A and B are shown apart, each in its own frame.
Chain A
């Protein structure tokens, strides 16, 4: 079965960077794009970007361009999302989401809480 296992919670200071990992299993890693979605406390869902694990090409929402870096390691079926220049508004749960929208096979990771506080 498809599993997406994310790294643990992080506490960071303003101005720092955070790198969240998402290890995939149960399917062919390079067959599906991986998306990143975040959710601030008590708020809705916000799409951040996606990575094509085959070639590593990425697309990100304009809001995050210049601050977000998405990478992948095909040898371990892991994708990474690094967000830099953190501010308090970046406090949120970050989810990796396996694509497959056209076939209805979308899977969510368990989420990683990132807290930005001085």
Chain B
């Protein structure tokens, strides 16, 4: 199975700053990589699919990049509502594994 490793585990930033989250795969998942956002007490929601395409309704401050084994989620200017946990997930091969998550917290 493909193991996804996210870094950092926790990222402390201030509103208005830029956030860069990383996801590394143990083997290639091509561009079959999604990013989900989860806020406390809520179900996750899809942000990015196909490594770089935004899901419907997702603001353009969120962007994804990468292919193969190295992927990045960038939030250009953090808004207060962006502080949450972010998970990457590969859907190129079963099982559709998740990374362990990056917690984005207010500094």
With A61-B95, A101-B34, A101-B91 known as contacts, the answer to whether A108 contacts B43 (CB < 8 A) is yes
Chain B residues near A46: list those with CB within 8 A: 98
Q: How far is the CA of A112 from the CA of B91 in the complex (A)?
A: 23
Q: Which residue of A lies closest to B91 (CB)?
A: A101
- Residues 92 to 107 of chain B near chain A (Cβ within 8 Å): 94-101
Chain A residues near B49: list those with CB within 8 A: 101-104, 106
Q: How far is the CA of A46 from the CA of B1 in the complex (A)?
A: 13
Chain B residues near A107: list those with CB within 8 A: 46
B39 within 8 A of A: no
B77 within 8 A of A: no
CB distance from B94 to the nearest CB of A (A): 5
Chain A residues near B45: list those with CB within 8 A: 108
- Residues 61 to 94 of chain A near chain B (Cβ within 8 Å): 61-62
B28 within 8 A of A: no
- Residues 32 to 57 of chain B near chain A (Cβ within 8 Å): 32, 34, 36, 38, 43-46, 49-50, 53-56
CB distance from B60 to the nearest CB of A (A): 14
Number of interface residues of B (CB under 8 A): 26
Chain A residues near B54: list those with CB within 8 A: 104
Q: How far is the CA of A111 from the CA of B94 in the complex (A)?
A: 22
Q: How far is the CA of A105 from the CA of B96 in the complex (A)?
A: 16
Q: How far is the CA of A95 from the CA of B43 in the complex (A)?
A: 8
B87 within 8 A of A: yes
- Residues 1 to 51 of chain B near chain A (Cβ within 8 Å): 1, 32, 34, 36, 38, 43-46, 49-50
Residue contact A45 to B87, C-beta cutoff 8 Å = yes
Q: How far is the CA of A46 from the CA of B36 in the complex (A)?
A: 13
A17 within 8 A of B: no
Q: How far is the CA of A59 from the CA of B91 in the complex (A)?
A: 13
With A44-B101, A45-B44, A111-B43 known as contacts, the answer to whether A106 contacts B95 (CB < 8 A) is no
